[in-house]
C-alpha cells in the first residue's frame, strides 16, 4: 500500500451520491462476488450481469473491472458483459477498443510454479493457480500453512526478482511492472473514461494502489469489509451491500 496515501478511517460511511460524470472501477472477489473456498467457486450470476449491463448503459461505458483474476476468468464470471477489464492486477488490460495489452511473463515463473507445486503436494487444502503472468498460492482451506506459505513466497520473490502481492489467504508472485493503480490511471487516459471522476471499489490490499490513484485524480475509494487503515474514503460491509448499491446506482445514474 502506498504509505503516503494511507490513513486510518474508522468507521467508514456509505458512499455518497455519484458525482457528475462518474467512472466506476470494481474489484471482483469480495466485491462483485463473495469470497469462496476455491477460485473456481465463483460463477456467473444473473443479477450481477443485469446490473453491470444497466450501469454500462447509464454511465456511457465508464465502468471497468480490475481484478487479480485473468481477463478470461473475469469474462466467464461476468458473462462477457464488461468490455473494459484489467486482469492479473493490471498485467493484462482490455480497453474499450477491444485491444488486449499484456506484459511479457517473467522468465522465472515456470521455476516458481514448480516450487509452489512441490510445496502444495503434501499439504491438503493448499492450491496453486497459474495465471501465465503470475502464480498464486491459495491456503484458505489450510490456514495452518499461512506462515510457511508467506515465508516461501517471500523467498521466491526475492530470489527471482518477482513482485510479491499478499492477499486474503493468498500469496501471489507476479511479473513486475503493473498494479491496479496503474491500470486505473491507464483507463482514465482513454475514452470513454477521460475527464470523468474515478470511483474504485475494492476489499483487499491489492486495491489500495487503485484507491490512491482514484483519489489523486479527484475521485475516491470505497472499501468493502471491516474498516482498516486504508486510502479509501467510504465503506460498504460486504459484496451483498455492493450489489445493492450498484443496483441503486443503475436506476439513478
Distance of CA 99 to the CA centre of its chain: 20
Report how far Cα 115 is from the mean position of its chain's Cα atoms.
25
Residues in the chain: 253
Backbone angles phi, psi at 81, to 5 degrees: -70, -35
Dig out the grid coordinates for 51 from the structure: 446490473
For the four alpha carbons of 98, 104, 108 and 111, in that order, the dihedral sign comes to positive
Q: Which sequence positions are flagged as catalytic?
A: 27
Cβ-based neighbour number of residue 121 at 10 Å: 10
Burial 217-241 (b: 16+ CB within 10 A, else e): bebbbbbbbeeeebbbbbbbeebee
Amino acid at each position: 500500500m502506498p504509505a503516503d496515501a494511507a490513513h486510518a478511517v474508522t468507521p467508514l460511511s456509505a458512499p455518497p451520491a455519484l458525482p457528475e460524470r462518474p467512472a466506476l472501477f470494481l474489484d471482483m472477489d469480495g466485491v462483485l462476488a463473495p469470497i469462496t473456498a476455491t477460485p473456481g467457486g465463483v460463477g456467473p450470476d444473473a443479477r450481477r450481469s443485469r446490473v453491470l449491463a444497466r450501469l454500462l448503459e447509464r454511465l456511457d461505458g465508464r465502468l471497468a473491472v480490475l481484478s487479480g483474476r485473468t481477463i478470461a476468468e473475469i469474462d466467464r464470471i461476468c458473462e462477457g458483459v464488461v468490455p473494459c477489464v484489467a486482469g492479473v492486477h493490471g498485467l493484462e488490460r482490455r480497453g474499450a477498443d477491444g485491444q488486449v495489452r499484456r506484459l511479457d511473463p517473467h522468465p522465472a515463473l515456470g521455476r516458481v510454479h514448480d516450487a509452489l507445486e512441490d510445496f502444495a503436494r503434501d499439504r491438503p487444502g493448499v492450491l496453486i493457480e497459474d495465471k501465465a503472468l503470475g502464480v498464486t498460492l491459495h491456503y484458505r482451506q489450510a490456514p495452518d500453512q499461512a506462515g510457511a506459505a508467506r515465508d516461501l513466497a517471500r523467498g521466491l520473490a526475492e530470489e527471482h526478482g518477482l513482485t510479491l502481492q499478499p492477499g486474503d489467504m493468498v500469496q501471489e508472485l507476479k511479473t513486475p511492472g503493473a498494479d491496479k493503480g496503474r491500470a486505473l490511471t491507464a483507463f482514465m487516459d482513454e475514452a470513454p473514461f477521460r475527464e470523468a471522476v474515478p470511483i474504485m471499489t475494492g476489499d483487499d490490499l491489492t486495491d489500495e494502489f487503485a484507491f490512491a490513484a482514484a483519489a489523486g485524480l479527484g475521485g475516491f475509494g470505497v472499501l468493502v469489509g471491516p474498516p482498516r487503515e486504508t486510502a479509501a474514503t467510504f465503506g460498504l460491509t460486504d459484496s451483498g451491500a455492493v450489489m445493492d448499491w450498484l443496483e441503486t446506482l443503475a436506476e439513478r445514474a
